[in-house]
Structure 1
Amino acid sequence: MKKFHFVMLLFFIVFLSAGITTFALAFGDEQAVTVGTERREFDKLYSAFDTLKESYFKEVDQDTLINGAINGMIDSLEDPYSDYMNQEEASSFHESISSSFEGIGAEIQEQDGYIIIVSPLKGSPAEKAGLKPNDKVLYVDGKSIQGMSSTEAVMLIRGEKGTEVKLVIQRPGITEPLDITIVRDTIPIETVYGEMLEDGIAKVQITAFSENTSKELITVLNDLQKQGMKGLVLDLRQNPGGLLDQAINISSLFVPKGEVLFKVQDREGNTQVMASKNEKNPDIPLVVVIDKGSASASEILAAAVSESADVPLVGENSFGKGTVQRAQDFSDGSNMKYTTDKWLTPNDNWIHEKGIKPDHEVSLPDYASLPFINPDEELKLSTASTQVKAAQQMLKALGYEVGREDGFFDENMEKVVIEFQKAEKLEPTGVLTGQSTLKLMEKLREKIQQNDTQIQKAVEILKEQVK
């Protein structure tokens, strides 16, 4: 297995506040667009505009018509990664470049007319509330968002710190929709977390690529080297990527100089090869961990180290986003993003909608996929629901003898809940609600972290390298 090298690098990412909607790559500067008025192909458009402006039964706002026309053109592309943003939305887009924002902390994307959760940020309200990749958001505060763009959905989901947003989601494998109430918070874009594990093995988790990621990453890596790091697990799970015009620099951190990082291909089939610029840095064995929430720039990085540096990948198949977007401003302050190219791995693979298959496929325990339980609901004797079933499975995973797992809250379940409440120094009511529910989910998260089979496999591989 080849090694990776540390270099200083700079990132550029754009987050949309509430769901941190992200794009794979951006090349070049944003530019204002001036549309000519003498082009014959626009005659039909001008005619429709004039007719509605003059003859519609109510007075219409011309900006609304123009915005609608642009939005309609982009919607006709049927591309979830292309979107038009009016002035308000574009303003939020630019504000979100800062090191923090107020929202729930989850990346979303539009897919087949629905808003899908790509990945919640680590430690965010979205993660704590139990949102998971591939959750389909049906309603926001009682309003259906089917057919909305990701930008429109973001405007509903985001909001001031301390306010609540109520989501109704459909989770794959679960028949009944789930009601989830999330308290918005300030989401600091702290994206790099490092720790020493055992036998000189360090773990660094990159949760997203924001404007400060490079500084955070280098600081963490330098600190870990001082602590005696001999091998590194790079955790890209649940990392939605980002808008990167410095993709070469970040991938060069791990790939030897001159090796191919990725390729960009336009609609004519012209291909541009991006090669590593690595320069004289220390060698340390590396293993990368990915999952279905690893998307966009995370996949560029994973594919680059895998195919050009023989770095093992561990975990689950990644998300599958293989297109390149450009963000472009209009002179009135509105904005659009649109797909310009597709990117290919060093071996010419297009991973779009397929993802990257790891060398070592390792799943987390089944209890890691249990659904969120709404703490506002009361689960008590004689109630029956999917929420009760989830609670039974959580308690079983924590070692309690629940007996049945069919979603019916019987007398034994009541006794088990009381036992759990006593163990956690909570009022022993036998009713699972509020703090009891939150504590149950907290204990389950701790168990998942302690039994992280994917990280354990990565460490096992590295131990063979650092003997």
Structure 2
Amino acid sequence: MKILLVILFVIVWVGCSTDTVSNATPMITKTGDKEFNYAYTFLYYYYYLAEDELKSSDYYLTNPDTVIDKEEYADYADVYCMFREMSDLMTQYFPPDLFQKVNQAITTSPVNTKSFGMELDENLRVKYVYRFGPAATAEMKRGDQILAVDSTFFSTDSTDFTEQYQSVLQKKTTDDFDFTILRGKDTLKISMTREDVISPTVYVDSIDNIPIIRVTEFTPITNGFQNDGSAEEFEAALKETDGAKSTVLDLRGNPGGSTELCTRMAMDLLPAGDTAFIQLEWKPKGTERSIQASYFVNDKDGLGSGRYYVLLLDGNSASCAEIFATAITSNLKAPIVGETSFGKGIGQVYSKTPEKGYAVATSMLLFDKDSVSYHMFGLEPDFTIKNADSALTTAVKIAKERKEKRTAGYSERVNSYWLRVKRKAPESVEERLRDWTRGLAIQEVSVE
């Protein structure tokens, strides 16, 4: 069990002058351009290490040694340098030309290009049909067996149907296809046109009558939903599997997302009165910078409360996925199968800037219901199994027996990611974006 650890690094970066300057004062700058003023105010109120790291505004505005990655970012050099000076790995500034990419990462699940809006197993049997997309429009059904595409029948002698299928799709220069499928005893002809399709984030499957609900991220806009996508999908999955005594929750590879959504989804599984997690948050209170503690307590029995749950996690289960997992394990003692999770027990706020850039700052420290932090360490599995298929098999077996309770705690080893030096070398903004989206626990704010 770990109490909160915050490591402060003494960092030297060639891109910014390292002269000692006094810490920020309560007075927000009145000089500089609108983008800088907004970003400085944002950090002052929300960045949890601002008292120790944010210097006077003049330091960033007059610094002669600012070096940036691309010449076109020269107009934002002072803002760029200021955010680089903050030691926290997740506190970042993204200039306006990355607005669409950042907005996509924050608000929308991945878009599949040239997609039919369905997923197939290795035998070309339909596993999932998305709510919206060509397959849904054509009334494809789960369990349909694809026999042929454009009159090319797939050889029953082959052990790799997927390769044959992809070969047919890749050879064609247009997006219109005719499918021959087997549904039960009936052979049907169905036509579909590929298009760009937003992916779902929640998938329902089953093994030996044990429901398996896989959650890939916690995102507002998903296939068929425009506001609370992942939560709406998850609640639909709980209704679909209503009556099940046990369920496997697969969060492997889930990088996180919206704190509002993962909190709501965790509450869906808890009985009334359970505390999902505790949050310390830096934010303005009037004109003052303040620290506020919040306890997220369920006010009613959740839609899926009363079931026995088993969690699947791995090293890429991060941030909001860990908030969700911690709420379930600390309250329900649900066992974990797989690998140690990423270990991100901090959360961020983000804000659109006047020039349509994005400012992001770590402003939240997250704790389980017992006020214990897993930050930098992650959740240790009760059953350590690296092989994905073996882990799933074990999780299903445990769910069927419903006897195991969580006994493991948080890892004793710090994830090496948290020992990285943020400014060791100037990296591209694209690299920072990829790294940043690895573990999201975010909520939007606006600076007045």
Equivalent residue, structure 2, for 1:196: 206
Percent identical pairs in the alignment equals: 23
Aligned counterpart for 1:273 among listed residues 295, 313, 324: 295
AA matched with 1:315: G
Distance in 2, matches of 1:44 and 1:338, equals 20
1:71-108 Cα offsets, whole Å, 9 max, x none, are 111111132211111111123322452454379xxxxx
Corresponding residue of 1:389:
none
Cα deviations by residue, 1:153-205 (Å, 9 ceiling, x for unpaired)? xxxxxxxxx9xxxxxxxxxxxxxxxxxxxxxx95733111111211x311111
Does the C-alpha gap of structure 1 residues 307 and 42 become closer, same or farther in structure 2, counting only changes over 3 Å? closer
- SS of structure 2 residue aligned to 1:245: helix
Q: Distance in 2 between matches of 1:356 and 1:92?
A: 30
Give the aligned partner of residue 75 of structure 1: 84
Unaligned residue ranges in structure 2 (runs of 5+) = 1-27, 38-54, 114-127, 129-169, 171-194, 221-228, 283-289, 404-448
The 1:87/1:460 distance shift into structure 2, 3 A limit, reads same
- Change beyond 3 A, Cα 1:333–1:291: same
The yes-or-no answer on 1:89 pairing with 2:112 is no
2:337–2:382 CA contact under 8 A, matched in 1: yes
Where 1:242 maps in the other structure, the secondary structure is strand
- In the TM superposition, structure 1's runs of 4+ consecutive aligned residues that sit over 6 Å from their partners are none
Calculate the TM-score normalised by the size of structure 2: 0.51
2:279 matched to which residue of 1? 264
SS at match of 2:213: strand
C-alpha change, 1:234 and 1:46, in structure 2 (3 Å) is closer
Distance 2:399 2:377 in 1: 27
Alpha carbons 2:270, 2:302 under 8 Å: kept? no
Q: Check conservation: 1:232, 1:287, Cα contact below 8 A.
A: yes
Residue 229 of structure 1, aligned match among 244, 251, 259:
244
Aligned partners of 1:220 and 1:44: how far apart in 2?
A: 53
> SS at the partner of 2:258?
coil
The residue that corresponds to 2:5 in the other structure is none
CA distance in 2, matches of 1:259, 1:245: 17
Equivalent in 207, 230, 236 of residue 213 of structure 1: 230
**Do residues 347 (structure 1) and 391 (structure 2) align?**
no
3-state SS in 2 of match to 1:458: helix
User: Given the alignment, which residue of 334, 353, 357 partners 2:357?
Assistant: 334
User: SS at the partner of 1:311?
Assistant: coil
Query: Does residue 363 of structure 1 match 2:386?
Result: yes
Q: What secondary structure, in the 3-state scheme, does the structure 2 residue paired with 1:69 have?
A: helix
Asked if 1 retains the 8 angstrom alpha-carbon contact of 2:218 and 2:262, the reply is no
Cα pair 1:344 1:350 within 8 Å, conserved: yes
CA contact (8 A) 2:270 2:301 kept: no
Alpha-carbon spacing, 1:48–1:321, altered in 2? closer, same or farther (3 Å): closer
Deviations 1:394-413 (A, max 9, x none): xxxxxxxxxxxxxxxxxxxx
Contact persistence 2:313–2:338 (CA under 8 A): yes
CA–CA distance in structure 1, aligned partners of residues 319 and 58 of structure 2: 39
Distance (whole Å) between structure 2 residues aligned to residue 209 and residue 465 of structure 1: 27
Partner of 1:384: none
The equivalent residue for 1:288 is 311
CA contact (8 A) 1:263 1:272 kept: yes
**1:251·1:276 contact (CA, 8 Å) conserved in 2?**
no
What letter corresponds to residue 400 of structure 2 in structure 1? K
- How far is the alpha carbon of 1:299 from its aligned partner? 0.5
Where is the strand percentage greater, Structure 1 or Structure 2? 2
Quote the Cα distance in structure 2 between the aligned partners of 1:255 and 1:73: 42
Kindly provide the CA deviation profile for residues 290-317 of structure 1, in whole angstroms up to 9, marking residues without a partner as x.
1111101110111111111222222211
> 1:465: how far off?
2.6
Aligned to 1:255: 270
Q: What amino acid maps onto 1:242 in structure 2?
A: G
Structure 1 residues 269 and 71, CA gap change in structure 2 (3 angstroms): same
User: Residues 48 and 457 from structure 1, CA distance in 2 versus in 1: closer, same or farther, beyond 3 angstroms?
Assistant: closer
- After superposing the two structures, state which structure 1 stretch, 349-358 or 210-219, moved more: 210-219
User: What CA distance in whole angstroms lies between the structure 1 residues aligned with 2:82 and 2:62?
Assistant: 16
**Cα 1:252/1:204, change in 2 over 3 Å:** same
Equivalent-residue separation in structure 2 for 1:83 and 1:333 (angstroms): 14
Q: CA RMSD in A?
A: 3.5
| Paired amino acid for 2:253 | Q
Assess if the C-alpha contact under 8 Å between 1:189 and 1:210 holds in 2. no
Q: Aligned letter for 2:390?
A: T
2:336 paired residue among 313, 319, 337: 313
Partner Cα distance (2:59, 2:341) in 1 = 44
Counterpart for residue 326 of structure 2: 303
Distance 2:291 2:202 in 1: 36
Matched, 1:459 2:383: no
Code of the aligned partner of 2:395? A
Q: How much does 1:252 deviate?
A: 0.5
Task: Answer whether contact 2:60 2:79 (CA < 8 A) is retained.
Answer: no
CA distance in 1, matches of 2:85, 2:258: 23
Give the secondary structure class of the aligned counterpart of 1:308: helix
- Give the distance between the partners of 1:348 and 1:203, measured in 2 at CA: 30
Residue 101 (str. 1) matches residue 118 (str. 2): no
CA separation of 1:100/1:465 partners in 2, compared to 1, >3 Å: closer, same or farther? Answer: closer
Indicate conservation of the 8 Å contact 1:237/1:293, yes or no. Answer: yes
Q: Secondary structure of the equivalent of 2:266?
A: helix
Q: 1:189-225 CA deviation, whole Å, 9 max, x = no partner?
A: 3111111211x31111111112221222222332233
**2:319–2:344 CA contact under 8 A, matched in 1:** yes
TM-score when normalising by structure 1: 0.49
Deviation at 1:240, TM superposition (A): 0.8
Letter in 2 for 1:36: K
